[in-house]
């Protein structure tokens, strides 16, 4: 009898400890809630990078997703150099983080924008040459972009529309011109367009 009482006591102690350990590894991605617009904080360094040079005559803004849960400019740059063999690395002009890799809503400025050279994001020469590629980290076939990602995207598109004189009809998704799901079926394109001028 005494032995089995001790066994029960051991169960009471160990079960909560086991579950406590497991629950610390559970994480969920924040989801896009259009009713809660978030303020965008664009660091001075990013503004400086955006403003610093003469730009090419861009015609389009092309929106992508990474189709991955995490990533940042450095890791995708490495992937594009090493796996795709692209000497200029990161195929997009801009990357917007989701908190898994870079900060949620963080705008990273790519080398191709800084050098004003062709992109490698469209799979189509016209849109690589004349389209500014913005990629959001995430897989929007499964999730939605975060509020911060959408706020940063709006900020960046507004900026680029003014700077490069791009009409909102030319703010398009990758799947607008190519057979791909990119940027995913949950990307809120119509809501985004409704907020552009």
Given a contact cutoff of 8 angstroms between Cβ atoms, the answer to whether 80 and 91 are in contact is yes
Number of chain positions touching Zn ion (CB under 5 A)? 3
CB nearer to Zn ion: pick between 4 and 185: 185
Other C-beta atoms closer than 10 Å to the C-beta of 92 total 27
- Work out how close the CB of 135 gets to Zn ion at its nearest, in angstroms, rounded to a whole number: 7
- Binding to Zn ion (CB under 5 A): which residues in 53-112? 64
Given a contact cutoff of 8 angstroms between Cβ atoms, the answer to whether 39 and 110 are in contact is no
Position 182 contacts Zn ion (CB under 5 A): yes
Given a contact cutoff of 8 angstroms between Cβ atoms, the answer to whether 135 and 66 are in contact is yes
- Work out how close the CB of 172 gets to Zn ion at its nearest, in angstroms, rounded to a whole number: 11
68/26 Cα distance (integer angstroms): 18
CB nearer to Zn ion: pick between 166 and 182: 182
Q: Which stretch binds Zn ion (CB under 5 A): 32-40, 49-57, 174-182, 189-197?
A: 174-182
Half-sphere exposure of 149 (CA within 13 A, CB side): 30
CB nearer to Zn ion: pick between 64 and 109: 64
- Work out how close the CB of 124 gets to Zn ion at its nearest, in angstroms, rounded to a whole number: 11
Q: Which stretch binds Zn ion (CB under 5 A): 1-9, 14-22, 93-101, 168-176?
A: 168-176
CB nearer to Zn ion: pick between 38 and 68: 68
- Work out how close the CB of 98 gets to Zn ion at its nearest, in angstroms, rounded to a whole number: 16
Residue selected from 80, 112, 130, 174 as contacting Zn ion according to rule CB under 5 A: 174
Q: Which stretch binds Zn ion (CB under 5 A): 6-14, 41-49, 156-164, 177-185?
A: 177-185
Given a contact cutoff of 8 angstroms between Cβ atoms, the answer to whether 158 and 107 are in contact is no
- Work out how close the CB of 180 gets to Zn ion at its nearest, in angstroms, rounded to a whole number: 6
Given a contact cutoff of 8 angstroms between Cβ atoms, the answer to whether 130 and 119 are in contact is no
Inter-residue long-range contacts of 108-114, CB under 8 Å, 24+ positions, other chains counted: 108/72, 108/73, 109/46, 109/49, 109/50, 110/73, 110/77, 111/77, 112/88, 113/49, 114/49, 114/53
Q: What is the binding site for Zn ion (CB under 5 A)?
A: 64, 174, 182
């Amino acid at each position: 009898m005494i032995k089995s009482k001790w066994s029960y006591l051991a169960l009471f102690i160990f079960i909560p400890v086991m579950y406590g350990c497991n629950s610390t590894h559970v994480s969920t991605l924040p989801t896009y809630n259009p009713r809660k617009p978030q303020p965008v904080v664009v660091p001075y360094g990013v503004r400086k990078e955006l403003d610093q040079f003469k730009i090419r005559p861009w015609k389009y803004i092309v929106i992508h997703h990474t189709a991955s849960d995490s990533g940042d400019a450095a890791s995708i740059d490495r992937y594009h150099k090493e796996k795709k063999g692209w000497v200029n690395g990161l195929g997009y002009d801009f990357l917007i983080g989701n908190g898994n890799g870079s900060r949620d809503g963080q705008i990273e400025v790519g080398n191709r924008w800084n050098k004003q050279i062709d992109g490698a994001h469209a799979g189509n020469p016209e849109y690589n040459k004349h389209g500014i590629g913005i990629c959001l980290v995430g897989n929007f076939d499964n999730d939605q972009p975060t509020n911060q990602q959408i706020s940063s995207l709006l900020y960046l598109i507004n900026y680029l529309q003014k700077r490069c004189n791009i009409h909102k009809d030319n703010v398009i998704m990758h799947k607008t011109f190519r057979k791909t799901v990119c940027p995913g079926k949950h990307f809120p394109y119509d809501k985004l367009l409704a907020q552009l001028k």
